[in-house]
A and B are shown apart, each in its own frame.
Chain A
């Protein structure tokens, strides 16, 4: 019988990491991710792992870098301002092709903001999270079950592509409790022959960021570009909800997708041919989810707890053939099912009445 538990999202994520073989965790306290830090501090030492509280997020990401360089699975978590402090190191991880999992239990607003849920870090993470054309796979769980499931996936993708992988959630997903089921997962086999472990009986290994020549640097970037192309090709993930016969798509991920799901159901009952596309990978953005719908869709509506970020990716995904509206706000605004349903009605009405709806 499957093992079932009632857990907080942050703790489910931590437990999943340990079960995925991640025995190293470095972190710095910041709300609303602190339960995860505390879970790892409690659990890792008695399960043969290493937990270390660091002096800053600027440093944290390089503790991660060092352990990742040895080929061991490693994770850190923070929240929006802390992720900004890690930006340089995220780029270094990508440049050195090191696998690591970075969790952002996001805060709301630019600056310090406050701790209510928000999705304001979408653009920062999906743009690579750091300087210099780096890329991170970004996974967006929408339930406590997915906080666990996508953590397993994150470690596998990180190892498979030797690239940092981010999990983007918020305080709502991090702190709410839901039942989850632990599925038995075979551990993926990934060669770590590149890892630095001491050059015993083999030529030395190097985890480098600065190649010696311009030509080598360009070659490194060629390799990275090809890798990002492969990831974009192979790893787009999404869920369709009620998309059968839909002429309008609500697009939402994470917390706002949970809320929008109910609104879409209500709107369907009212006879509006609307469905939901829930991106699970934010990068690569699931462009492929939109492809079979081109010509059928008359409009899209993103529900985002930010000022309208993902809507730009949706516009690209539909190649600007139909209007993409955005409904949302950052700073801790949480959509409610009635508000989303009314927005669906409004957008659908404008699509119907004008043919070419207002932007």
Chain B
């Protein structure tokens, strides 16, 4: 029996180390997106819109895709501007929780409400990572960060925002799912959700958002292994995994 390759780097990803901390979740999600682009054969019609945060530098990793880098929180607006001008393009945006759930709340809600034909991949790590682990809208009740040093207290800082549930109140979205990257079974589910969101774009079927629960060991002051365990034990209790909207091929619910 001869040797054959069973695993490799997707062509869409540059042969560069990720610019992230050890144990960070961004690289894993980037890879899933790159694999989806490759598997669907859409590289030449794909346009990526990045966000502001740790992933601001992801344009270097996706070295063969056209890139647009707008302001903090405005990825859904810029992605819409691109998609309206290039209806045949596959347009996706990548956002963190500060980007989407804090400064960009309005933009994502309105893009979802319009059923804009874009995909948004939303990496939720419950902190502002790039600025050093401050409280985000998605920070859990009681979670300690540099701006909630005694733990997030609801009477002072309110409650976490669940973006999938929030967007699921709208008629516009075609697909909304929350996945986790902790553990092989979850990774497989996350991969399928990524592929589905991109497939919806390939077929022009509407707005798709996948929320990934991802670790931020530096922001959480945990080891990479502890971070993954915390997602399993705590974070995915506050953010239940699942599909919150899945309109069928005809664009109807079901």
Q: Which residues of A contact B (CB under 8 A)?
A: 24, 26, 50, 52, 54-56, 58-60, 62-70, 72, 74, 88-89, 92, 96, 196-201, 204-210, 212
Contacts and interface: CB of A to CB of B under 8 A. Distances in A.
Interface string B40-71: 00011111010000001101100111111111
Contacts of B109: 55
A208 B69 contact: yes
Interface residues of B, number: 35
Contact of B69 (A24, A55, A56, A210): A210
Contacts of B46: 198
A88 B52 CA distance: 14
Given A92-B70, A204-B67, A69 B59 contact: no
Q: What DSSP secondary structure best describes chain B's contact surface?
A: helix
A54 to B, nearest CB: 7
Given A198-B86, A198-B89, A200-B45, A66 B81 contact: yes
Contact of B82 (A55, A66, A200): A66
A305 B84 CA distance: 39
A65 B78 contact: yes
Contact of A89 (B60, B74, B82, B83): B74
B120 interface: no
A200 B44 contact: yes
17 contacts: A54-B77, A58-B106, A59-B74, A62-B77, A64-B81, A65-B71, A66-B82, A66-B84, A196-B47, A197-B47, A197-B66, A198-B47, A198-B86, A198-B89, A199-B44, A209-B69, A212-B57
Given A96-B69, A205-B66, A63 B77 contact: yes
Contact of A50 (B57, B66, B85): B85
Given A65-B78, A69-B82, A198-B44, A207 B110 contact: no
B70 A62 contact: yes
Contacts of B13: none
Contacts of A88: 71
Nearest to A210: B56
A248 to B, nearest CB: 46
Nearest to B110: A55
Nearest to A56: B106
B227 interface: no
